[in-house]
Every structure is written in structure tokens, then in C-alpha cells.
Structure 1
């Protein structure tokens, strides 16, 4: 259930910052539908895995570091990319939340297609190595 709650927090944070364009983007459909179905069907802690299983491992905790910022305070996110053939593709965008003495990171799928069966494997860094870059929503790359 924790992954579902954190997915919802990240989804709503990005929606607040990016508006309906974020919700209409094809890469958000899998998260949007999982959240919708969980609440529409009266999902519980016991059956949450049925809805949020594909996102297992999307959330992690770390020691806060001011260099990373906080998505809610300064609109910073981390974009995850990997090689796909000859192209570099983005596959996840991580929201950063400072809660007490922890930095909670929540990676949402991000791609140009609908659904990404590779998302979970890529988050675990199985296969192709991933690269990350931090940006401020609005297009600014943070060095």
C-alpha cells in the first residue's frame, strides 16, 4: 500500500505543477488507471498489490541532500534515461520529497508510448545502465 500512497503523492505533485497536460500525457495512463481502479473498486491494503504491483520498487528513502532539492518546494525532479538501440530514452521521472530526516524518492513512468513493460526492470538497473539528470520543471537542467 505504501507504493500506492507514494505514487498518488507523486502523481498529484506533478499534476499540481504541470496541470492537465501531465494527466493527458500517454506515459501517465498506467499510473492514472491504477489509482482510479484502486479507489473506484474500493481497494484495500490486502489487495493493493493487484493494482500497484507493476510499480514495485518505485519508492526509496535516502538521507536528504540540499543539492537534490524537493519537488514540492522548488519543482526539482530527476529524469532517468537509458540507451534503446541508438537512442537515449527517458523512462522515469522521480519526484523528491523531504519528510522529517528522510528524502523519499518516487519514480513515475515516463515515455512516449502507452505502457512500458521495461519500466520496473529499468528502475532496478537490470540490463542497460541508466543515467540520471536533475531538472527543474519548466525545462531547466540543474548542473
Structure 2
């Protein structure tokens, strides 16, 4: 019972922390588009700038990961709420890039446990693929 309560509380806190960041970003952006997750807007810019074009896809992906809420649930080398990026890299290959990019955008549940990954609907498929390439580059 205690384990179920703690898991439920952790899931609620995770969802609340992600939604609060999204709300704060929406308020500061003052854009009329309500169906777009505005927290992802800053992550779109690095791929479009000339400086970002000089970066490798993995480096661009790392910048995108650091610019979103991903690090509130994931760490590179240790499980937090979600799996460590190195564990994800060990499980998947480059053939799974499209599948994982879709999972980042749509969210997911059940592969790494009962706590769902929140969707990131405002993230473009190209940027999600860059993020996946970065994560897969972390293979041990």
C-alpha cells in the first residue's frame, strides 16, 4: 500500500512539475496559439541558427534536451523518474530513431515502468530525432 501511494504521489508531482513549467512559459510568451506547447519554442531556435548548423546532430540534440523539461525526469547515467539515457541507448539502435522520436512527441507508458512519460506535442519530429540521436550516442 505504501509503495502504491509513493508511486502515485511521484506521478502526480511529475505531471504537476511539467505542467507548471508549460504554464509559466505560455504566460511569458504571450502568443495566441493555445494548442502549441510553448515550452518547446526555445528548442526550435538552435537548429535554425548558423552556429547550430556547425554542430553535429548529437550536439544539437544535447542542446535540445537541455532546453526542455527532459532533465527533470531523466539523467544521463542514473535512473530518476524515467530511465537513464545510457540505459535507453543500450536498449535501442539507430533503427529505432523514428519510433523513439514519436514516443517523445506522443508520450508513452509501460516500457520502463508504470509512470508515464509526458507528451511533448510542440516538438517537431526533426528536433525529436536529433534528441534521440544524442541519447543513442551515450552508449557505454
Structure with greater strand share of residues: 1
Structure with greater helix share of residues: 2
Over alpha carbons, which structure has the higher Rg?
2
Q: Same fold (TM over 0.5)?
A: no
Give TM-score, length-normalised by structure 2: 0.25
